[in-house]
Amino acid sequence: MKTPKRIGILTGGGDCPGLNAVIRAVVKTVIHDYDMAVVGFLDGFEGLVENKFINLTRDSVSGILTRGGTVLGTSNKADPFKYPIFEAGKIEYRDRSDHALKTLEEHGLEALVCIGGDGTMVVSQKLAQRDIPVVGIPKTIDNDLVGTDVTFGFDSALTTATEAIDKIHTTAQSHHRVMVIEVMGRYAGWLALCSGIAGGGDIVLIPEIPYSIDSICEKIKERKYRGRYFSILVVGEGAKPIGGEIVVKKRIEGSAEPLRLGGISYKVADDIEEKIQVETRVTILGHLLRGGIPTPADRLLATRFGVAAAEQVATRNFGQMVALRGNEIVAVPIKDIAGKTRIVPLDSPYLAVARSTGTCLGE
Ligand code: F6P
């Protein structure tokens, strides 16, 4: 079997800490171990369609391990199969996959490494169906990709969220308030649940468990009777009340997943104030969670994923996404995981420990 000589790489979807660590690991490994050349496409699949690229060398990835964001840029609006064209204030979608294929051909690329979340894996799968040799690497702060125990970016976002909750504790205590902290995560509650546990949240609301406002207020009152005049409530952006709806912040036309969530924290806070007249404040952590340097755990995972992806390319094991299972890095077929969301299972050990330590889950 002949090892590929030239490969492409891109980052798609929302940015997160660890993307540069992965790019670095892939580039260094394919050059060092396999003597390949690497083309980096700019702004996700947009770079592939529009042929925007830079050549990546050992020098160009030197010093990026610790940097947040992605040196390649990214986009969540550039599906080559449904490519948005903005004209006269209107959007039209066209199939531009032929442009993507032409770009790969022009550069003489024998493989494409796609680093991203579910949207990126869906596009990768469509490329694979057109015989493009792809290898996927799972990233997202939401930790909601099927097939891997964890995505890189999650640990860094969890660290930022936990530090924020720690800091907000002091105001909660000093002012005897309920502090509501909203975290990202879309339809999965991993970030809310894990930061809620790590930050000692009294109430944690996740999309997987619709909440009862009465149960939340009971918890706050019960704490008050015990002399705890403050409460910390952590809520995932996709949470909703029993019988209620998710709060949609806006619609982003041209995006593969157009709905942006956000603002449930205001509803929860208003409802608490109305029901039990306790002073309540809201902090939405938002994109803060995607910024900053990757934690050591994310740097390690990103580096392991990058090296493993390079190995998949070298052995021509295409159509696969590298993944973590236990402490092993494995390869899983992208077709088995694309388009699926890994939400928190109701028998999750995290939910069990939250309940055992008296955390109210709004049930
Ligand atoms: O998927 C990552 C994520 O940060 C989600 O947690 C969040 O809902 C979404 O992206 C925000 O997207 P955008 O950056 O387009 O507003």
Of the residues 141, 235, 253, 288, which should be mutated to test ligand 1's pocket, given the most ligand atoms within 8 Å of the CB? 141
**280 has pLDDT over 90:** yes
User: For ligand 1, is residue 183 a contact (CB within 6 Å)?
Assistant: no
User: For ligand 1, is residue 261 a contact (CB within 6 Å)?
Assistant: yes
Which two tokens mark 116? 């991203």
Q: What is the pLDDT of residue 245?
A: 96
Atom of ligand 1 lying closest to residue 260 CA: 8
User: For ligand 1, is residue 186 a contact (CB within 6 Å)?
Assistant: yes
What spacing in Å lies between the alpha carbon of 277 and ligand 1's midpoint?
33
DSSP string covering 113-166? EEEESHHHHHHHHHHHHTT--EEEEEB-TT--BTTSS--BTHHHHHHHHHHHHH
Residues 134/183, Cβ–Cβ less than 8 Å: no
Residues 284/249, Cβ–Cβ less than 8 Å: no
Closest CA to ligand 1's atom 11: 260
What spacing in Å lies between the alpha carbon of 99 and ligand 1's midpoint?
27
**256 has pLDDT over 90:** no
CA–CA separation, 95 and 81 (whole Å): 4
Residues 273/280, Cβ–Cβ less than 8 Å: yes
Report CA-CA distances (Å) from 270 to 51, 206, 267, 277, 320: 49, 18, 5, 10, 46
What spacing in Å lies between the alpha carbon of 13 and ligand 1's midpoint?
8
Atom of ligand 1 lying closest to residue 262 CA: 8
> 229, 132, 135: which is closest to 176 by C-alpha?
229
- What pLDDT, in 10s, does the model give residues 57-76? 999 999 999 999 999 999 99
- What pLDDT, in 10s, does the model give residues 84-122? 998 888 889 999 999 999 999 999 999 999 999 999 999
Exactly one of 142, 155, 202, 298 is catalytic; which is it?
Answer: 142
Instruction: Specify the DSSP element, H or E, that contains 29.
Output: helix 19-34
pTM over 0.85: yes
CA–CA separation, 92 and 96 (whole Å): 12
142 given a catalytic annotation: yes
What spacing in Å lies between the alpha carbon of 143 and ligand 1's midpoint?
12
Dihedral sign from CA coordinates of 252, 97, 137, 54:
negative
Residues 238/265, Cβ–Cβ less than 8 Å: no
CA–CA separation, 30 and 125 (whole Å): 23
